[in-house]
Amino acid sequence: MKKIINHILEFKRIYLLLLVIGTMFYLLAGCMDTTMPGEANKRILAVNTYVADSANPSDRAPLSGVTVRVYDLDANPNVPIQEATTDNMGIAGFNLQIPLIGRTYRVVAEYNSLSQDSTIVICDDRGVDFVFLKTGCLNVCPRINNNDFGSGGMISDTISNRGDNRVYISPSLQNPSTAIITYDIFNPDTSCSAISFNVTIESAAGVIYENPTQYYTIDPMNFVIQPGQHKQLTITFRAPIKDTLDRVVLRRNTQSKIDSMFAVRLRISTSVNCTQDLDLYSIVTAVPDLSPIINLRAYNQKTPQKPTPEHEVYFFGNASRTINNTGEYPPLKGNIWVDVDDNNPTAIPPLEPILKIVPNTGIIGMKVWRSGFPENDFYNVVQLIANFQNDPTHSSGYTSTELRGIQVGDVIAFQLGPDSYTLIYIRRVDNGTEQTSSKQSGIEFRAISGIYVN
């Protein structure tokens, strides 16, 4: 009996010694968590996948769409315990329950019939890298405006056609105010096949305030880009009419500020498992924009200094004058133009600039609304419009023929429709006697186009 007891005691000493040795080994190896939180620790395995050129393996980029499987070799080496696909950054993450003494795993990455694997012992957070070389066709993510799809996360942009980052209300449903934004999409891998794209409108709480399909047009929504080729994706916003905007703002009026923003969330999906999300915003205003300075020369006027005439017209709302390339006289394009009584180079100045409306342009008429008006007062758009609306004669006295005797400081009003107007402020009047290089007649002005009077 005594001998048996001695054997048991000897066995316990050996067991304790082995336990101490084993514990020291795992502590030195880094697989023992000294905090001892429990039977197992939650650990993260991050798998990073890249694509590289076989001629220069160090030049690599994240590779999405790689299938990654994790096998527990200490349990069942033939059945994966977790599976995931790498995201746009080429990353797949796994949460593992790791015993304090660590565990052995096999990680397998598969892409386009290519496979790589790695066997690792995990006792802490770990990362594993797989690099796939371009052998044949191995598409990388496309690029949008020179950035990889998803590399910067969500893209947020404001669509506007004005300097104040706003969009003006539409004069009518048939003639909407529009603003456009364009994205350049590129298939960078010239050795691979074409990439197909699909654009969808996604729902997002707190982002889409109105049905976006009423206001946004995406062109194209489905397309294919060949290797090494570009494609432009165009998103057009159509502003609502004033009555619609008023109802929208009234319905949203639960905050201290006016909410007149429209929005759409787009998702661009691809055949190579890369996606890019776009949040696009359009802020609508009922205050029209003030144009840059427009210098409109006399249409078809020839002078000794200008023997070849130009055919300048102006479209209301544009940031500059336009050349009518067809050159017919009188012009059939544009909204307004400047004429003189004698267009021949033998005509002797002064030749008064005569303001005319382009025929069949739809403008009802024009008149001098104010004379000797201070220029700075014209730039106070909100107050100017209020003064115009409150003038009981704002809708009367218009002519559709011509205006002569234009002077600096004149505010000329144009009636575009029953409730729609444009105002221009005359900054300069030339009759050909000035020290100019062409000796042409003309006017210089700034415009406020699209004033709607209820």
- Residue 26's pLDDT is 44
- Residue 210's pLDDT is 81
- Residue 280's pLDDT is 93
- Amino acid identity, position 117: D
- Residue 135's pLDDT is 60
DSSP 104-129: EEEEEEEETTEEEEEEEEESS-EEEE
Structure tokens at 201: 């409108």
Task: Give the span between the Cα atoms of 153 and 335, in whole angstroms.
Answer: 45
- List the chain pLDDT tens, one digit each, 454 residues: 555 545 544 545 554 444 444 444 444 444 554 444 444 578 899 999 988 876 677 777 888 889 999 999 988 889 999 999 998 788 999 999 888 788 999 999 998 778 999 999 988 888 999 998 876 555 678 999 988 898 878 899 999 988 788 998 887 787 788 999 999 999 987 667 788 999 999 876 555 568 899 999 999 999 999 888 999 999 999 999 888 988 888 887 665 455 788 999 999 999 888 899 999 999 998 888 899 999 999 999 999 999 999 999 999 988 899 999 999 999 999 999 999 999 999 999 999 999 999 998 889 999 999 999 999 999 999 899 999 999 999 999 999 999 999 999 999 999 998 888 999 999 999 999 999 999 999 999 999 988 888 6
Fold adopted by 40-133: Immunoglobulin-like (2.60.40)
Task: With beta carbons less than 8 A apart as the criterion, state whether 108 and 69 touch.
Answer: yes
In a 3-state reduction of DSSP, which class is residue 60? strand
- Which is nearest to 365 in space by CA: 338, 390, 341, 394? 394
CATH 3.30.420.10 fits 143-285, yes or no: no
Task: With beta carbons less than 8 A apart as the criterion, state whether 268 and 144 touch.
Answer: yes
Domain 40-133 and domain 143-285, same fold? Reply is: yes
- Residue 94's pLDDT is 94
- Residue 92's pLDDT is 94
Task: With beta carbons less than 8 A apart as the criterion, state whether 301 and 337 touch.
Answer: no
Structure tokens at 333: 């394009």
- Residue 188's pLDDT is 85
Task: With beta carbons less than 8 A apart as the criterion, state whether 201 and 213 touch.
Answer: yes
- Quick count: other Cβ atoms within 10 Å of Cβ 140? 23
β-bridge partners, 296: 443
Task: With beta carbons less than 8 A apart as the criterion, state whether 260 and 285 touch.
Answer: yes
Specify the pTM: 0.55
Query: Domain segments of the chain: what residues?
Result: 1-30, 40-133, 143-285, 294-452
